[in-house]
Structure 1
Amino acid sequence: MFSIGEILGIAYLLQTIIGVLGNFYLIYHYCFHFEIQKSLRRIHLIFIQLSFANAMFLLCRGIPMTIFSWGWKFFLNDVVCKIITYLQRVFRGLSICSTSLLSVFQAVVISPSSTKWAILKVKLHKSMAPCCILCWILNLLIDAALPIYVSGPGNITKNKWKNKVRYCFMDTYNMDRLKFQYLIAFYDFIIVAVMTVSSAYMVFVLYQHRQQVQHIHSTKVNLRASPEIRATKDILLLVSIFFFFNSACAIIAIYIDYFKISASWQLYVPMFLSMSFQAISPFVLIRSETWSLWKFCCSIQGIKHSCAIPLSMVSCQRHAEPPK
């Protein structure tokens, strides 16, 4: 019989492997798309950044949690523990920032066709790469002080190291650390608030679109939505998954902390939920790409020349981009 620790370790390992493979496949898909059309759509930059951040977060958190669950309590030294914790926070923040940027981009894409919105679409289209770079800079800088408050297992004899990060420890009583945590929480709140507002706006636009479609009795319009609408629904699904898993993780973590629960499987549930969005999100995006699996099979079999897909069909993506 497997112990609870071994079962948890297998669950973390499977979640990590599946999520990493899905995210790296998505990166390959958009790079392959760039090789075919010799141009990279701006929204693909966000998808690549999101997939890379998700994959690295899963590796930085999933592998240590798997090892720790299998009973290796002190496998990280002080320096490695600081680096791992810092990278986890950076890639988690980058994943949230990329998801928020994606929702804002799509909200602008489906906005009404007016002069003001047209100008905003052009500006956002040109500033997509700088926005992605800004996400990197913000997350690298805002978490720069985190390693100061993290220690490896060698310092567990000190009474001040109470807050376990499973295989690492954090100084709970340091006031500077509390101020730093408040700063990070405020940054996360701003990013999530922007994501919430843009998602709510997309829902409003979709509702208006549905009301307009009800007055049209054409079968084709009812059965086949525009690429912009389909892309918007996929992004809303992605954002909904983000809110579901992060909310569930926060609620369970607060419950465990309030009632002082010490059962190992209950303590590890929030950690599993904290990686679920990064593991599931690539498959939501893969689902929206109708031709990606077919082209991937063609490239693996080495018969790309026989896969005579018209360029117009290849470029018919789910995700819409504002006109240049």
Structure 2
Amino acid sequence: MITRDLITGMIFLFQTVSGTLGNFSLLSHYLYLYFTGCKFRPTDLIIKHLTVANCLVILSKGVPQTTAALGMKHFLSDTGCKLVFYVHRVSTDVSTGTTCMLSISQAITISPRNPRWAELKAKAPKYIGSCNILCWMLNLILNAMVPVYVTGKSNDNNTTKKTDYGYCHSVNPGKFTESLYVALIFFRNILFVGFMLWASSFMIFTLYRHKQQIQYIHRTNITSRSSPESRATHSILVLVSTFVSLSTLSSIFHSCLTVLNNPSVWLVNTSALVAGSFPAVSPYVLMSHDSRVPRLCCAHTRNTESPTF
């Protein structure tokens, strides 16, 4: 039992440390780009919000799970549990929304240069900041009921229908509320995944058509390397495919935790591990495809028209 808890704690610790380092490295990368005068892309503001949300997801779930797995069960008060769960739920939903927004924005960015898309391409960057703020505000409001069903370990009662996370309890609501909550989760995820799949299919089609067009051009310096837009699109396609896979698994586990009475420790830990996988992996996916490396990106003077933070 002690060995199993130690292994579980080490796994959560590795995920938390690697995810935190990755997301802070990505934020540091954008700070470097800002102070050295590199021009920002329209999608960069979305990625910053995504990175902040991912940091909150990892810290609000990974740190408590690690601490509980290593033997500290009563380190959070009732208020602390409510706050941690609320932050985790809000940041998870913001991460989902901004990932969807990122795929749609990139699809608009690489859309064909014709009059039908020109107006949308010109207006879309102006609304990115407002959409990000709206995403945070909506999720702060929609998850306002989450703390009601969360209690600390010290505030234990005789309720049999609850989920023990090791450091806090989540009291399951009634049957009707359970069914409604699970239905809303699936509807929201299906809606976002549908938008992501549409945007991804559009980007794949656009890249394929562009590749077919440049096959007629025989100059080596054009065909030998991909454009920055193409590399950014590949990055977002990998990110979206990773998100869809892990989000589907996470939704299944989360629904099981909501419906089942007193779920097992294995189910609780696996659900937490899957939920933290995308925030931990996403910064490495984004950085691996970013062509704006320090030695190349800032040889010129600062572009004063570049959007700031």
TM-score band by shorter chain is 0.7 to 0.9
User: What secondary structure, in the 3-state scheme, does the structure 1 residue paired with 2:43 have?
Assistant: helix
- The equivalent of 1:310 in structure 2 is 299
Greater shift, 21-30 or 103-112, is seen at 21-30
Partners of 1:259 and 1:127 in 2: CA distance: 42
Q: Distance in 2 between matches of 1:256 and 1:219?
A: 56
Deviation at 1:197, TM superposition (A): 1.5
1:13-58 superposed Cα distances (whole Å, 9 cap, x missing partner): 1211111111112112112212222865432211111111111110
Residue 122 of structure 2 corresponds to 122
- Deviation of 1:205 after TM superposition, in Å, equals 1.4
Which residue of structure 2 lines up, in the alignment, with residue 147 of structure 1? 147
Change (3 A) 1:191 1:70: same
TM-score (norm 2): 0.86
The structure-2 alpha-carbon separation of the partners of 1:180 and 1:155, relative to structure 1 and needing over 3 Å to count, comes to farther
More contact order relative to length (CA 8 Å, sep ≥ 6)? 2
Distance apart, 1:154 and its partner CA: 3.8
Q: How does 1:1-324 map to 2 (within 5 A)?
A: 3-37=3-37, 40-174=40-174, 175-176=176-177, 178-250=179-251, 264-265=265-266, 267-292=268-293, 294=294, 310-311=299-300
Counterparts of 1:228 and 1:238 in 2: how far apart (Å)?
A: 15
Paired-residue identity, %: 35
Q: Take 1:76 and 1:288, find their aligned partners in 2: how far apart are those partners?
A: 39
Q: RMSD value over aligned CA atoms?
A: 3.1
In structure 2, how many angstroms separate the alpha carbons of the residues matched to 1:13 and 1:125? Answer: 38
Query: Could you tell me how far 1:124 is from its partner in structure 2?
Result: 0.3
Q: Give 3-state SS (helix, strand or coil) of 1:42's partner.
A: coil
Cα distance change on mapping 1:308 and 1:286 into 2, 3 Å: closer
Q: Distance in 2 between matches of 1:256 and 1:127?
A: 37
Q: Residues 178, 167 of structure 1: CA spacing in aligned structure 2 closer, same or farther, 3 A cutoff?
A: farther
Opposite residue 204 of structure 2, the aligned amino acid is V
Deviation for aligned residue 1:264: 4.2
**Does structure 1 conserve the Cα–Cα contact (< 8 Å) formed by 2:78 and 2:154?**
yes
The alignment covers a number of residue pairs equal to: 303
Q: Is the 8 A contact 2:193 2:244 kept in 1?
A: no
Structure 1: gaps of 5 or more residues: 296-306, 316-320
Q: Is the 8 A contact 1:261 1:267 kept in 2?
A: no
C-alpha contact (below 8 Å) 1:81/1:150 kept by paired residues:
yes
Alignment check: 8 A CA contact 1:53 1:95 kept: yes
Per the alignment, in what secondary structure is the counterpart of residue 74 of structure 2? coil
Q: Distance in 1 between matches of 2:263 and 2:85?
A: 23
CA contact (8 A) 1:162 1:169 kept: yes
Question: Where does the alignment leave 5 or more consecutive residues of structure 2 unmatched?
Answer: none
* C-alpha contact 1:16 1:279 (8 A) present in aligned 2: yes
In structure 2, C-alpha distance between the alignment counterparts of 1:253 and 1:148, rounded to whole Å: 18
Q: Conserved in 1, the CA contact under 8 Å of 2:162 and 2:171?
A: yes
Verify the 8 A CA contact 1:50 1:95 in the aligned structure 2. yes
1-structure distance, mates of 2:64, 2:254: 19
Q: Deviations over 1:210-269 (max 9, x none)?
A: 333344444333321222111111110111111222234445677899999976446422
Residue 309 of structure 1: CA displacement? Answer: 5.2
